[in-house]
Structure 1
Amino acid sequence: MTLIDAPAVRADRGAGPSGHDSGVRDVVLGGRYRLGAPLGGGSEAYVNEALDLRTGTSVAVKIFRTRGGAPFDREMATHSRLRHRNIVRVIGSGGQGDGSKELPDDQDWGRNYLVMDLVEGRDLRSLLRHAPASEHQTVAWMTGIARALTYLHRRGIVHNDIKPGNILVDFAADPGGPGIAKLTDFGIAIKGRQEAPKSSSGTPHYLSPEEVRGGESTSASDIYSLGLVALECLTGTKAFPGAPLESMVARTLGEPRIPGTVRRRWSMVLHAMTDPVPAGRPSASQVVGMLRRLSW
C-alpha cells in the first residue's frame, strides 16, 4: 500500500502550541523541572518550557503522551546521544516512578520525558508565516541543517521528518546575524536497519516522491524534504500546497515549480535537491558546498 492509498494521514507533529496548558503549570517532574508555558505539541508528545530548580536555568521538556515507553525509548536511543551545533541537545530525561507529582487526571500525558536546551528563538514555520526569508537567511539556515544531516547520515541516521516546524532558529546564539538553525524532533528517525513506526512516515507536505509511493525513507529523502523547505523559505509558500492527499499526489506527477523570482543559481540547487530520482540528489555534505557557493 502506498501512502496515497492510506485512509488517513498522520497529524502534523509540529502542530502549534498545545491547549493542554491548564492544570500543568507548576507541576514538578522528577522533583527538579517545574513546568511553565507550552511551547508546542503533536500526536505523540507536548513540549513545555520549564525551570530547572537545581540550576535555575530554563529548559524545554518534551513529555510523551502515551503511557507505554516505545516512542520515548525510540527517541532516547537516537536523539540523546547526538552532539552537534545544529541539533537541539538533550540534557536529561525521566520517566515513570521518578517521584514526579502526578499530572492532572484529565490530561492524556504520559510521564516519560526528555529535557532539552531551550532555544531562544522561533521555529521556521512561524517565521515563514509572516514573510519569506532573505537569501542570506536561507543560505545560513539551510547550510546549518545540511551540516546536521551530514552528521546524522554519516552515523546511519535518517531524520525522516524534515519540515519548518522541526527547525528552530536560535537568534540569541547569533546576535546581529541570521540566527543558528537547529534540527529537533527525532520521534520517527530511522537508525541503521530500524524501521520507522508504521503509523508515522513524515509530514505530508514534505514527503519525497518515493515515500509517497510507499518506498523506503533514506538519506536522499531527507535531502528532498530540505529542498522543499529551502524553496518555501525563498517564496513564503509551500511547494505543494493544498490538502495533504492532493499535495502528495502532486509530488508523484512532477517536480516542484520554482518561480522566476528565484535566482538561477538557486534554482539549480533546488532542482538538484528535489530530483525525482533519489540517486540523482546530492549528499548532505554536497549540499553544504552548493549552498556555500551561493553566498559568494
Structure 2
Amino acid sequence: MTLLERAAVRADRGAVCTDRGADSTDPTGARDIPTARRAAVAAPANTSQPAPVLGGRYRLGTQLGGGSEAYVKEALDLVTGKTVAVKIFRSTDSGGSAPFRRELDIHGRLRHRNIVRVLGSGTTVDPAEAGRHQEHRNYVVMELVGGKDLRGIMQHNQASPEQTAAWMTDVARALAHVHRRGIVHNDIKPGNILVDFATDPQGHGTAKLADFGIALKGRHGAPNSSSGTPHYLSPEEVCGGASTSASDIYSLGLVALECLTGTKAFPGPPLESMVARTLGEPRLPGTVRRRWSMVLHAMTDPRPAGRPSASQAVGMLRRLSW
C-alpha cells in the first residue's frame, strides 16, 4: 500500500467537521519573526540624527520584526544601492551552538530560489545602545523579500487551495534541498515562510523558507533552548524525541492545514496543544477536499516512517494544482 493509499484510509476514517476558533498568536515569543514589507530607509522621524550605519555599509531603517533572540531591520546597502534585511542578534555569543553561528554555518551556505539568501555578516556595536554601556552584536545580512510572511497573510485572509498548494510546494522544494544536505530546519511555522509577490505579481507569489537559527546539522546538534514552536511540533518531538527531516514534514502539514482552514490544527495553550498531538491525528474539517485530506494525512502520519520525504511531498502537492 502506498503512502497516499494509507493516508486515504485514514482520511476516510478520520475526516470530521470541527469548529475551531482562530488563534493567530505565538505564545512562545521565543523566535524572531522576519517580515518582508518594504519601507523607506531613512533617518528616524522628527529627529536631525542620521540613521545608524552598520559596518560602514548598511544604513538601518524600519524595524521589520523581532523576538527574544534577534530583531530584523530594513537597511540600505550603501555599496550596491539595494535594500536588504539585517538580523541583529541580542546575544553576544558567537559559539558553535549560538543562533548566529548556525545562521552562518548552515543558512549562509544555502543557495535555492525557495530559501531566503544570506548576503553577508559582521559584528558591530548595537545602535540601540548608543549612549549606554555598549556591547558588540553579531548580525547577518539577508535579501529583503518583497512580500509578507504567512502568519501575517493568514491574519487577514484565508489562503485558497491553489495558493496553499503553490506555497507548500515551494517550501517542500526548499526542504528537499536542505534535507539532502543533512539539515533539519527544526522550526517550520507560518512566521518562517515568506511569500515574495514581487517575483510573481500575476500569480500566487514565491514562498521562501527563512530562519535557520535552531537548525540541526552535524556538530550543530539540539540547541540549548527548546526546539521549535509548540503549535507546530511533531508527536515525536513533543515526547522528547529527536527532530528529523520527517519532523519538518509533519510541521509543514500543520501549516498547510492552517492555510486551508484559517485555524491551527491543535489550538489552545502550548501545553494543551502539545498533549493533544500525542493523542491523535489532526481532525480535518469536511470542507477540506478529499485529495487534500489524503496528502495532509500522509504528511501528519503519527509515525515518522509513514510520512513522505520532502521530494515525495513536492510531487503530492504539485498534483493538487492540476
Which of the residues 63, 74, 78 maps onto 1:49? 74
Which of the residues 29, 37, 49 maps onto 1:11? 29
Deviations 1:150-201 (A, max 9, x none): 0000000000000000000000011110000000000000013531213131
Other-structure match for 2:154: 128
Q: Could you tell me the TM-score, scaled by structure 1's length?
A: 0.90
Letter in 1 for 2:55: G
Q: Map 1:13-92 to 2 at 5 A.
A: 13-15=31-33, 26-69=51-94, 70-92=98-120
Query: CA contact under 8 A between 2:266 and 2:273: conserved in structure 1?
Result: yes
CA distance in 2, matches of 1:126, 1:144: 18
Which of the residues 191, 199, 202 maps onto 1:176? 202
Other-structure match for 2:6: none
Query: CA contact under 8 A between 1:12 and 1:43: conserved in structure 2?
Result: yes
Other-structure match for 2:24: none
Report the Cα offset of residue 11 of structure 1: 3.1
Report the Cα offset of residue 102 of structure 1: 7.8
Other-structure match for 2:163: 137
Deviations 1:49-68 (A, max 9, x none): 00111111100000000112
Other-structure match for 1:269: 295
**2:282 counterpart of 1:256:** yes
Letter in 1 for 2:109: R
Other-structure match for 1:4: none
Other-structure match for 1:3: none
Structure number with bigger Rg = 2
CA distance in 2, matches of 1:114, 1:292: 33
SS in structure 2 of the partner of residue 93 of structure 1: strand
Query: CA contact under 8 A between 2:30 and 2:69: conserved in structure 1?
Result: no
Query: CA contact under 8 A between 1:10 and 1:199: conserved in structure 2?
Result: no
Other-structure match for 1:219: 245
Other-structure match for 1:167: 193
Provide closer, same or farther for how the CA distance between residues 295 and 109 of structure 1 changes in structure 2, counting only shifts above 3 A.
farther
Query: CA contact under 8 A between 2:193 and 2:208: conserved in structure 1?
Result: yes
Aligned residues: 283
Provide closer, same or farther for how the CA distance between residues 131 and 30 of structure 1 changes in structure 2, counting only shifts above 3 A.
same
Query: CA contact under 8 A between 1:66 and 1:110: conserved in structure 2?
Result: no
Report the Cα offset of residue 95 of structure 1: 1.0
Provide closer, same or farther for how the CA distance between residues 30 and 286 of structure 1 changes in structure 2, counting only shifts above 3 A.
same
Query: CA contact under 8 A between 1:11 and 1:203: conserved in structure 2?
Result: no
Q: Map 1:238-257 to 2 at 5 A.
A: 238-257=264-283
CA distance in 2, matches of 1:102, 1:244: 32
Q: Which is bigger in relative contact order (C-alpha 8 A, separation at least 6)?
A: 2
Tell me whether 226-235 or 49-58 shows the greater mean CA deviation: 49-58
Letter in 1 for 2:110: L
Report the Cα offset of residue 221 of structure 1: 0.1
Report the Cα offset of residue 15 of structure 1: 4.7
Question: What are the ranges of 5 or more consecutive residues in structure 2 without an aligned counterpart?
Answer: 1-26, 36-43
Report the Cα offset of residue 108 of structure 1: 8.9
SS in structure 1 of the partner of residue 71 of structure 2: strand
Other-structure match for 1:204: 230
Q: Could you tell me the TM-score, scaled by structure 2's length?
A: 0.83
SS in structure 2 of the partner of residue 86 of structure 1: coil
Other-structure match for 2:121: 93
Provide closer, same or farther for how the CA distance between residues 181 and 109 of structure 1 changes in structure 2, counting only shifts above 3 A.
farther
CA distance in 1, matches of 2:310, 2:133: 40
CA distance in 2, matches of 1:240, 1:247: 5
Other-structure match for 2:176: 150
SS in structure 1 of the partner of residue 156 of structure 2: coil
Report the Cα offset of residue 245 of structure 1: 0.8
